[in-house]
Structure 1
Amino acid sequence: MRQKINLIGILLGITVFSACNSEKKKDIAETEKIKTETVIEEKVESKKMVWIDADLAVGKKNINRPGYSDVDDGYAVLQLLNAENVEIKGMSTVYGNNSIENAFAIGNYINKEFIDHKISVFKGSGEPIDINNVKTNDAVEALASALKKEPMTILAIGPATNIGILILKYPELKSQIKEVVLVAGRRTPNDIFNIGTKGVKAKDLNFDLDNAAFQVLLDYEVPLVLCPFEVSSKVWIEQQDLDTLKAFNIPMNWLATASQPWLEQWQTQGATGFNPFDALASHYIISPEDIISEPLLARLELHPDDTIKENEKQVFKQYLLCDDTKGTPVKYCFDVAPDYHQKLIDSYKNK
């Protein structure tokens, strides 16, 4: 009888131990599940929601003048598409380096050929803001709808026309804009945008094409990041870089091949390569630690046009000037990390 009781006790002990062990394993499994879900949630939340507004012109010849249009907008778009910490919420196009029709066509081509999870591409403005008759467009309305759903960063690498119209039409959406990253600005009117060594002076094109749009952004104190010629002039894409990029993947082969005539165009001006202007702005969004910036104040000022030879103060234009004296607060990018060039090239490799 005693042996039977002892046996029952042992069996009860084993049952209790097994139940406790099972509960412990269940608790551990639940804890691990929560940890996994938290990590996945944090990973999703760490992605930056970005809208691209671009004057795409890759591979297109200039309109009404010889030569090819800029290719740097293509470098910005493909870099963001390749970034693991960025989610593209939409893309709009704008006139600038070329026509709005060409920009829209290239945007759709990139979307069709190179993006696995398709995004929507919208046609924006084909001309500067008319302050006396502000008209919206498909791009502005699409961006407004997207901002109503969630806050976003906007990469605006053409004239700021679409963004200016957005702010005028929907000023309440300013709070949904984390930053607008633009390619424009300089410290003084004497900071010349030299292209090569043969005396060619470039315009601050995005700004020059629509001064009013930039004035709107400053007046409404939209959070702005400026990636001007000062920072992009310190970075060069040369022939060996194009050869390297062509071997990375199909999108980069397309872009690097289309960049060949653009590179040769710069070489005729005495340069060894070209500055990938817009890629500095997209890189800021992906890895802001690689782009050195400082807080400054921005404003518009009228001065003689520095791109006209022997001007003698006959032709004037507006300048977007940034210093510490007066104006609207902006973040001004002016230099890159010491190992930036390699980081830029590596950003186009398949992840």
Structure 2
Amino acid sequence: MTETREKTPLESVSATTSATEVEEAVKRPIWIDTDLAVGMKRYSRPGFSDVDDGYAVLQLMKSDKVEIVGISAVFGNTRIDDAYRISNYMNEEFASSKIPVYKGAGEAINLSKIETNEAVEALAVALRKQKMRIMAVGPATNVGLLLLLYPELSSQIEEVVLVAGRRKHTDYFSIGNQGNQAKDLNFDLDNDAFRIMFENKVPVTLCPFEISNLVWVKEQDLNALAKADKGSQWLAENSRPWLAQWISQGADGFNPFDVLASHYMISPEDIISEPLNARLEIHIDDTIKGNEKDTFKQYLICDKGEGYPIKYCYQVVPEFHQKLIASFVE
């Protein structure tokens, strides 16, 4: 009796299919690591939390080019319990509960006391089965913990795509025209996680403020989303307070930071990048007004100097905005 086995996705494609068609037919496996905070009010100060993670996750859920193997929540834009709850909500409401969701780190890596969590263990299991790319759009804590506990799995990570970095420490993350400068939050909340990725020689792609600052979501875009499906409607509704917050700072829209990472995962041809080297440097904290060298912080600097080789995304194609909105409304 001849034993039969299930065909792999590649074997299921016709032998007459072209290489390009094969690539398009096979969904690339990815893992999402996110600090979702859509609709959340801030805990530490007045106002609302970022909504851009929601755009990144929903765009990937809508794409027919990727297979989301799992979603892991991490602290960052909000507390871990909130990020985990919203991750489950998006999976249930917009992905028919088909994606496993795991609770990850609630604080930065403590090098003197390394503790795992269910997200790290689930990611380890998934990587043992297959190579994957990871979109980590919150602090990279879960990825860092994985590499500390299971360094042998570093070769299974094809690429980690993150939202962080700048060319010079004087490249400010300016929000509006009121003199407010934002943190490089994902990096600032866990410097060690980035250092660990570099030391384990994981392929890293950065989508920094430099590129996200070129892309704007405005009132007319939210109006278009509000006429689409329920996922886009949910984003539009929860984005209006966030948009109002940016307008109060002198902007006429907001930068959807994390969606540059998700768009890169789906259509890298729409993102222009260059090879640079990344390293950690200490400089005066640029987010504190009137800082007289009382407070310093780490910066993730990317240039042609010494450091770990990374891919640095810095520009989008001319038709990017149309493509971005179309990915949510068509």
TM range (shorter): over 0.9
Q: 1:215 to 1:257 in 2, by over 3 A?
A: same
> Structure 1 residue 182 and structure 2 residue 162: aligned?
yes
Following TM superposition, the consecutive aligned residue runs of length 4 or more in structure 1 with deviations greater than 2 angstroms are 34-46
Aligned to 1:261: 241
Q: Does 1:192 align with 2:164?
A: no
Per the TM alignment, residue 36 of structure 1 is displaced from its structure 2 partner at its CA by: 4.1
1:29 — aligned with what? none
Q: Is the 8 A contact 2:30 2:135 kept in 1?
A: yes
Deviates more, 1:39-48 or 1:286-295: 39-48
For residues 138 and 117 of structure 1, what CA distance do their matches in structure 2 show? Answer: 18
- Provide the rounded CA distance (Å) in 2 between the counterparts of 1:155 and 1:111: 16
Of 271, 285, 292 in structure 2, the residue corresponding to residue 291 of structure 1 is 271
C-alpha contact (below 8 Å) 2:274/2:313 kept by paired residues: yes
CA contact (8 A) 2:165 2:184 kept: yes
| Correspondent of 2:89 among 89, 106, 109 | 109
Q: Deviations over 1:86-129 (max 9, x none)?
A: 11000000000000000000000011111136111000000000
Structure 1 residue 349: Cα displacement: 2.8
2:153 pairs, out of 158, 170, 173, with: 173
Aligned residue type for 2:144: G
Per the TM alignment, residue 153 of structure 1 is displaced from its structure 2 partner at its CA by 0.5
Matched AA of 1:188:
K
Structure 2 counterpart of 1:76 = 56
1:159 to partner: Cα distance: 0.1
Q: Does 1:133 align with 2:113?
A: yes
- Shift of residue 156, structure 1, vs aligned partner: 0.1
Classify 1:234/1:254 alpha carbon distance in 2 versus 1 (closer, same or farther; 3 Å). Answer: same
Alignment of 1:161-240 (within 5 A): 161-240=141-220
Aligned to 1:121: 101
TM-score normalised per structure 2 = 0.93
Query: In the alignment, what sits opposite 1:85?
Result: 65
Pick from 26, 40, 55 the counterpart of residue 60 of structure 1.
40
Kindly provide the amino acid, as one letter, of the partner of residue 121 in structure 2: E
Separation of aligned partners in 1, 2:144 and 2:315:
27
Alignment of 1:296-307 (within 5 A): 296-307=276-287
> Matches of 2:25 and 2:322 in 1, distance apart?
28
Aligned partners of 1:300, 1:49: CA distance in 2, in Å? Answer: 30
- TM-score, with length taken from structure 1: 0.88
Pair member with larger Rg: 1
- Distance, in Å, in 2 between the alignment partners of 1:134 and 1:231 is 34
CA shift for structure 1 position 348: 1.2
Return the structure number with greater helix share: 1
Instruction: Please state whether the residue corresponding to 2:198 is helix, strand or coil.
Output: helix
Choose which of 140, 151, 158 in structure 2 pairs with 1:160: 140
Q: Which one-letter code corresponds to 1:208 in the other structure? A: D
Counterparts of 1:349 and 1:265 in 2: how far apart (Å)? 24
Q: Indicate the residue corresponding to 1:243 in structure 2.
A: 223
Return the letter of the residue paired with 1:173: L
Deviation per CA, 1:236-267, whole angstroms, max 9, x where unpaired?
00000000011111100011100000000000
Q: CA RMSD in A?
A: 1.6
Unaligned runs of 5+ in 2: 1-11
Could you tell me which runs of 5 or more consecutive residues in structure 1 were left unpaired when the two chains were aligned.
Answer: 1-33
Which position in structure 1 is the counterpart of 2:251? Answer: 271
Q: Which residue of 2 aligns with 1:149?
A: 129
Partners of 2:109 and 2:44 lie apart in 1 by 22
Say which SS state the counterpart of residue 273 (structure 1) adopts. Answer: coil
2:224–2:329 CA contact under 8 A, matched in 1: no
Shift of 1:312: 1.7
- How far, CA to CA, are the matches of 1:182 and 1:288 in structure 2? 14
**Structure 2 match to 1:27:** none
The alpha carbon displacement at 1:311 in A equals 1.0
